[in-house]
Structure 1
Amino acid sequence: MQQLMFDIDGPRFVDAQGRHAILRGVNLGGDTKIPLSHAGPNPPRDFSDHRDVSFIGRPFPLEEADEHLGRIRGWGFNVLRLLTTWEAVEHAGPGQYDEAYLDYLTAVCAKANEHGLAVFIDFHQDVWSRMSGGDGAPGWVFEAVGLNLAAFDAADAVHVMQQRYDYASPERRQEDRYPMMSWPRNYQMPVNGIMWTAFFAGATLTPEWRVGGRNVQDFLQETYLGAMRAVAERLRHLPNVLGFDSLNEPSLGWVGQPLSQRRTGPDAASAMPVWPGPSWTPLDGLKVARGLSSTVPVMARGEGRGMQVSGETVLNPGGVSIWLEDGPDPFEVAGAWSLTEGEAAVRDEDFFRVHDGRALDHEQDFMAPFFARVAAAIRSLRADWLLFGEMCPYLMLQGKTFPQPMPERTVNASHWYDIEILGTKLFDPDRAHDEDRQRYGFQLGFIRAMGLSMRDGGAPTLIGEFGIPYDLNHGEAFERWAEGERGPGVWRAHSQALGAMYDAMDGLLLSSTQWNYSATNANDLRVGDSWNQEDLSIFSRDQTTTADDPASGARALEGFSRPYVQCGQGVIAGMTFDGTANVLTATIETDPAIEGATEIFVPNWRYPNGVAVAISGVEAEWRHDVQAQVVAISARGAGELKIVLTPA
């Protein structure tokens, strides 16, 4: 079996020659969250076909692989966070793996290898499943644990675009029906509360909840890991497949929350935010799931974007139960609450916070054993695979970090976004953003420290997701493009925002995979990345121009295609890039025992007349491979090598 394309050495990634490597890549891709049959501007409004869907062709048809992968490599990326979903692998039923899809996914990874792109597999989810407002788990999982997915919308138990948005209306933004970036509401709602609590804490909190003779937690985790092993079996021969993500942005469910006490935002006890819209407690969720109506306050952003009560609403006025059997539910059986003559009563306010007299610690009690199970599952097939670990991202708001001990050969793959840009889709390129840059450095520095403290000797950090919406400022760039404007000015706001993010990551020598590259993206406020009106793709067919144009298909090429040290002949000690002057400055602590040269990606479009390289500190020679877009610098001795790369 061939050596992995990249490995880890303490807090650094290294390539097969032992050179310190920076992995810079993209998530491929946002539209992979949904099957082809549910794509387009007017998708099916229910999920009755959930056992019969296919994800073949996600992220793109195989006949388009060379085009897309060649473009990604040509823009300077060397790694892919390749999305799949539990649903894509096992949609037909438990243990029924889609072998044709697995053939397809293997072929995509093999194609990436041909283009020199490393891959790690992300079993993606958002708010648990497509049927609960996002993507991830297959529909039969709900039936297996006793939930009726056909009743979710009628019971107000989910907030799903396909069922709330009016596709017949010409309005692209429908803030009254489906507010922009409102899909995270589902984390507060009954279906997500039930499923995430069962997935991580079922054995502890609901020991009598059985599925097929197993506790619900064991059933869910073992089935999920079975799908992961089915993928791993197919990919273990490929040297460019580095390993697997544990699970995208896992949720806490109701763990850590009081049963009936209302919150206005994250606090010391619970990291989960309160989003605009109905404000749920776990008791509200349990009542609604059982077919009771519940009157709750409605939250809205006030001055300073803090949350405040703006009114109230009645949830599930029709009294629809989402349990296939009308109760009692597993949480009532376990003693959280009771329903007597139609009235709900709290039996244990601390049910989700305290167990056997001890405060529950979600990361230590539930995530630590989960990380160990994922590592064991993938390494049963290839022992050298890396585990790309993720916690619930909201825990970072509390200053929390990974549980100890983490499995060996784990990478800190935490996510980071500028929440203001992501939530408002606004960015002013004419305003000074010095404070934003300082904030980026501080926040990313904390995430880097999470990796350094993961174990003795530290672990590498790869920012698994970051990025910006391309429908910024009400889709202004799309309008300018449609009117015939071309050039970097169209994407000025986007390039500035992305450039500041990459500047911060360069300063911290962080690896990253930007969110995202969607092959089907469209400049349409309704469509975007084909999922919940998100539009963060660096590529769109609407931006394609001519075959000889390096910017063809790109949005804000200036923001993300920039020089960086891909691998150093020793240890990369520092790196900065001045995008205005196109000057890269880097420092390498050289090790002449390493045969491979320092390699710097140098995009030809930025340096049409070539480059000049000034070297000091250590005797070295350099050469510029224009076709490969690489400057290689070979040092003859050990010491501090300073490199300044400028336009010729």
Structure 2
Amino acid sequence: MKYPTKPFMPSYEGDCLDPNSVFFDDENVTFVGRPFPLEEAEMHLNRIKSWGFNTIRYLVTWEAIEHAGPEKYDHEFVKYTIEVLKIIHKVGGLYVFMECHQDVWSRYSGGSGAPLWTFYAAGLEPANFSATEAAILQNDPRFDRAYDQECYPKMLWTTNYKRLAALTMFTLFFAGNTYFPHLRINGQNIQTFLQKHHMRALGHLWYNVVHSLPEMVKDGTLLGFESLNEPNCGLVGHSHMGRHPANQHLRLDTTPTVYQCFRLGMGLPVEVDVYKITVSGPQKDGSRLVDPKGKRAWLSAEEQQKYDTKYGWRRSGWKNGECIFAGLKIWKWNKFADWDKINQMPLDKRLEFSYQECLLRMPNYFNQVSPKISFNVKDERLPECIDMHFFINHFFVEYYKRFKKIIRSISPNVFMLMEPPTLEPPPDLKNDDRGIVDEKTIYCPHYYDGLSLLMKTWNDKYNVDTLGIMRGRYLNPVLGLVVGERAIRNCIKKQFCEIANECRENLGNIPVLMSETGMPFDMDGKRAYEDGRYTSQTAAIDALANALEGLRMHHTYWCYTSTNCHKWGDRWNNEDFSFWSPEDRDLAFDDDDTESASPSRRSSVTPSLRAIRALKETTGSLSIIKTRLNYHKKRLMPQLFKKQFCGDEEDFDDDVESTLENSTLISVSSDNLRYKHMKNCYPSPDGLRAPSAVLRPFLITSMGVVKDTEFDIKSSRFALTLTIKDRLDDETLEKCPTVIFVPKWHYPYLNYNDIYLTSGHVKYNERLEYLEWYHFDADDGAHSCSNSSSTARTSSDDETIIIKNNSGKYEDITQKDEALLGDICTIT
């Protein structure tokens, strides 16, 4: 969803230095076809559903809706979005919530989200962002993609949050009324102008979705809308603009201070510190001269006039071609300076002017409480200084109130999903009397393991307390070091526990949904793309999932990208998080199963596969190879169960069976069992990467209260303990079993020898891979471990189920054994 379909414009395409590049033609792009073409939608959704997931976080960007200009909505994109949602409803078994996505404000500042014209409204010129390093983009010619796509440093895009373009836009968007009351367009303050168009665009999409799909709202399939992805405070709370703040933990490549950003934005040369990432934190690695050579990040008088005329804007408060922060007298230059002459000076003279004739006058302007700045705070006392806590509880909350009003005015009963700044505590609204948080509010934090993200590797020897470091808990990041695999896993769980506790303390007893977390798949120098073994990725995702499951925290992973490829990953800033890749489907591997293969044998993917990939890259084909294999209809062994399973032969719909047979999902068959996918951490035949960590048993629903749950990936052992509520009679329990997703990837030959119950009996729905656990003893000879009588409960009881694979994995069964066993279950 982050980049257009036409023209095809992933982050590495176009030229951010060329104003005439198609990259800057934002008016004529289309996002129709994101996240996937309509004709492929059912296939992708069925694939996700087959993994056991039941909730889709559906991304849209402001740019996708309103790229042509203010209030010029892309109606074709709205129609397309409605059609995809219809297909989600048709597939069934999937919830969906919408989310307005952004990263570092916009594609034009190195991320995604807002349309190009928002920069023009703020007085900025994106065509000069690269020269002034107001933002660093992957499609900058300095990153010579023809020879090495890896020359764009890992996670460099995130540094744009601390560069001029994003700092300016987030400050204006959230706090323009406070800090820039004089900047006005068409009689509105710049904050009001930006937020109004942002809200109206989302409202336009949401109105059409809700009124076109009332059945999805009525049956609860369409859950609601999540607030702006990963909102950023901009300059609000910045303690000293001449220094790097202590909480700026990510310093990578050139790392200018805010004051240096100001001077670069005015075209002046600056010597900027260069940093590199180490385990002990950011480390200075020299300095680099950045020389814009007179190019400015601000619109000239002619450019400003052009865009004002084009969009019908009447603006006041801007000085043509000048920095808006200088307009606040935060910094200044020699008032007698002739900028035309300065730009013609040799480098040494321009450097002299930059350092000798410019002055930072109010370094703590965005941190201070001053009578000259109106914060419009009525019912609370201003703090001694403005900080992140104030930003979240004032500026973010005011934004969220407006967002909630728009969504609820269209659909009063949907869920509101609140996402405050990443890795920061939520606003303190538990005892707030404004009704901002209600019974249909969900808290949506995000989490990424910092070390794994920046190093693109999973280190089971040591890691760091990411949340503790971000919260300034350690004097030095090295003090947050965690040693040993068990300690690392416990540390992640501890961080999630802290996030959940903050929700209860600040927002009350509302659900927590981790709406974004994940691990990169291009770990260890993309080694898995050579040998097919996703070993590190399996361990990393298992550690995340173990923590989420241990705290019973709802979650949606980042991400599923239908256009993923090994060379470019998710085709956005060298990120590669997609659980699935078309290039990992139906792979053939060497039959050599030696664990200690020699270096010459490391690449076990067959040459023919690499040849196919090379051909695809040469032809530029982005289509997914759709391979139809015979769908081997294999059944669980019903003779081992005393009670017939749900979904046995007579209940299996012929149309469904036909659909499965013709599906593009590739199934495991006896032909590829020899590759030992689980043992070798190969992707599944259908292209799911790290399948042993992704395909996990989990609780779907229960009348009980979860007391404990855990899945051990090494032994395929799932344990669940519930407290069953008192006064529940057998009639109620019979209608409302506990339902558990039991994936065939881990339990292909599931039978009673794999299941231990403290009481009750089970039924198995093979097609859905659901195990139904009934909390009473059956009277018809069904398998039961209960000794209790079938009467109403008089007290709460703890009940446990353990599912452990004792009957073998797919790869453990030879073709001869398979013939003897008869029908077994299949996996996709």
TM-score over 0.5 (shorter chain) = yes
Measured at CA, do residues 161 and 435 of structure 1 come closer, stay the same or move farther in structure 2, by a change above 3 Å? same
* One-letter amino acid matched to 2:570: D
Is 1:381 paired with 2:410?
Answer: yes
> Contact 2:3–2:11 (CA<8 Å) still a contact in 1?
no
Partners of 1:32 and 1:157 lie apart in 2 by: 20
TM-aligned CA deviation for residue 34 of structure 1? 4.3
The amino acid across from 1:507 in the alignment is G
Task: Answer yes or no: is 1:359 the counterpart of 2:385.
Answer: yes
Q: Which runs of 4+ in 1 moved over 6 A?
A: none
Is the Cα contact below 8 Å between 1:38 and 1:44 reproduced in 2?
no
Look up the match of 1:505.
Answer: 548
Of structures 1 and 2, the one scoring higher in RCO (CA 8 A, sep 6+) is: 1
8 Å contact kept, 1:119–1:242: yes
How far off is 1:113 after superposition?
A: 2.0
Structure 1 residue runs without a partner (length 5+): 1-30, 267-271, 482-489
Taking the TM superposition and a 5 Å limit, the aligned residue runs for 1:462-541 are: 462-481=513-532, 490-524=533-567, 527-541=568-582
Counterpart in the other structure of 2:225: 244
1:198 aligns to what? 172
Provide the residue aligned with 1:319 in structure 2.
Answer: 294
**After superposition, what is the alpha-carbon deviation per residue over 1:259-295, rounded to whole angstroms, capped at 9, x for unaligned?**
43312641xxxxx434112232222222222333332
Cα distance change on mapping 1:580 and 1:473 into 2, 3 Å: same
Tell me if 1:629 matches 2:766.
no
Report 1:173-212 matches (<5 A). 173-174=150-151, 178-212=152-186
Whether contact under 8 Å (1:386, 1:410) holds in the other structure is yes
Aligned partners of 1:36 and 1:58 also within 8 Å: no
- Closer, same or farther: CA 42–128 of 1 in aligned 2, 3 Å: closer
Of stretches 149-158 and 187-196 in structure 1, the one that deviates more from structure 2 is 149-158
> Is the 8 Å Cα contact of residues 611 and 646 (structure 1) preserved in structure 2?
no
The 1:79–1:611 alpha-carbon spacing in structure 2 relative to 1, beyond 3 Å, is farther
Q: Which residue of 2 aligns with 1:339?
A: 333
CA 1:469–1:301: 2 relative to 1, 3 Å: closer
Question: Are the structure 2 counterparts of residues 641 and 512 from structure 1 closer, same or farther at C-alpha, using a change threshold of 3 Å?
Answer: same
Q: Is the 8 A contact 2:3 2:10 kept in 1?
A: no
Give 3-state SS (helix, strand or coil) of 1:605's partner: coil
Match of 1:43 among 7, 13, 36: 13
Q: Is the 8 A contact 1:145 1:211 kept in 2?
A: no
Residue among 564, 577, 589 paired with 2:698: 564
| Counterparts of 1:165 and 1:516, CA distance in 2 | 29
The structure with more strand, counted as a fraction of residues: 1
SS at 1:154's partner residue? helix
Deviations 1:526-573 (A, max 9, x none): x10010011111100011125223641211110111100011123222
Look up the match of 1:390: 419
Return closer, same or farther for 1:583/1:144 CA change in 2, 3 Å cut-off.
same
Worse-superposed segment, 550-559 or 48-57: 550-559
Bigger mean CA deviation after superposition, 323-332 or 64-73:
323-332
- State the alpha-carbon separation in 1 of the partners of residues 173 and 79 from structure 2: 29
Task: Tell me, in whole angstroms, the C-alpha distance in 1 between the residues paired with 2:259 and 2:181.
Answer: 19
The answer on whether the counterparts of 2:255 and 2:275 sit within 8 Å (CA) in structure 1 is yes
Could you tell me how far apart the structure 2 residues matched to 1:351 and 1:106 are? 46
Q: Which residue of 2 aligns with 1:27?
A: none
Asked if the contact 1:200/1:366 (under 8 Å) is kept, the reply is yes
CA distance in 2, matches of 1:375, 1:570: 32
| 311-320 vs 380-389, which moves further | 311-320
Q: Percent identity?
A: 29
Query: Which consecutive unaligned segments of at least 5 residues does structure 2 have?
Result: 17-22, 301-319, 338-356, 372-383, 463-483, 587-628, 630-665, 669-683, 777-792, 808-828
1:395-410 aligned at under 5 Å gives the runs 395=424, 400-404=425-429, 405=432, 406-408=436-438, 409-410=440-441
Question: Aligned to 2:442, which of 394, 403, 411?
Answer: 411
Residue type of the alignment partner of 2:585:
T
Preserved CA contact (<8 Å) 2:264 2:291 = yes
Q: 1:123 aligns with which of 100, 104, 124?
A: 100
Amino acid at match of 1:402: P
* TM-aligned CA distance change 1:337 to 1:277, over 3 Å: same
Report matched runs for 1:62-77 at 5 Å. Answer: 62-77=38-53
Match of 1:371 among 400, 413, 426: 400
Pair 1:109 & 2:135 matched: no
Three-state SS of the structure 2 residue aligned to 1:575 is: strand
| More moved, 590-599 vs 201-210 | 590-599
Partners of 1:364 and 1:42 lie apart in 2 by: 37
Secondary structure of 1:158 counterpart: coil
Kindly tell me: are residues 252 and 41 of structure 1, through their superposed partners in 2, closer, same or farther at Cα, counting changes over 3 Å? closer
Q: What amino acid maps onto 2:370 in structure 1?
A: D
Pick closer, same or farther for the CA change 1:36–1:551 going to 2, 3 Å. farther
Distance in 2 (CA, whole Å) between partners of 1:434 and 1:644 is 22
Once the two structures are TM-superposed, the CA of residue 256 in structure 1 deviates from its matched residue by 1.3
Separation in structure 1 between the aligned mates of residue 716 and residue 77 of structure 2, nearest angstrom = 43
Query: Aligned equivalents of 1:566 and 1:207: distance in 2?
Result: 51
Alignment deviations for residues 350-408 of structure 1 (CA, whole Å, 9 cap, x no partner): 2111232552221122011111111111111111222221222143xxxx432424432
- Alignment match, 2:688: 554
Tell me the distance in 1 between the aligned counterparts of 2:145 and 2:543.
Answer: 39
How far apart are the structure 1 equivalents of 2:582 and 2:461? Answer: 29
2:504 matched residue in structure 1? 452
| Contact in 1 for aligned 2:585/2:687 (Cα 8 Å) | yes
Q: How many Å separate the matches in 2 of 1:283 and 1:452?
A: 39
Alignment-derived partner of residue 9 in structure 1: none
Query: Aligned-pair distance for 1:118?
Result: 0.8
CA contact under 8 A between 2:423 and 2:447: conserved in structure 1? no
Amino acid at match of 1:614: Y
Q: Output the amino acid matched with 1:380.
A: S
Three-state SS of the structure 2 residue aligned to 1:151 is helix
Deviations 1:485-513 (A, max 9, x none): xxxxx112211111111111111111111
Separation in structure 1 between the aligned mates of residue 294 and residue 250 of structure 2, nearest angstrom: 25
Query: Offset of 1:412 from its aligned partner?
Result: 1.5
Q: Distance in 2 between matches of 1:611 and 1:190?
A: 61
State how 1:115-154 maps to structure 2 within 5 Å: 115=91, 116-154=93-131
Following TM superposition, by how much is the alpha carbon of 1:605 offset from its aligned partner in structure 2, in angstroms? Answer: 2.4
Structure 2 equivalent of residue 639 of structure 1: 797
Mapped to 2, the partners of 1:391 and 1:353 lie a distance apart of 20
Aligned equivalents of 2:250, 2:456: Cα separation in 1? 19
Tell me the distance in 2 between the aligned counterparts of 1:435 and 1:352.
40
Structure 1 contact 582–606 (Cα < 8 Å) conserved: yes
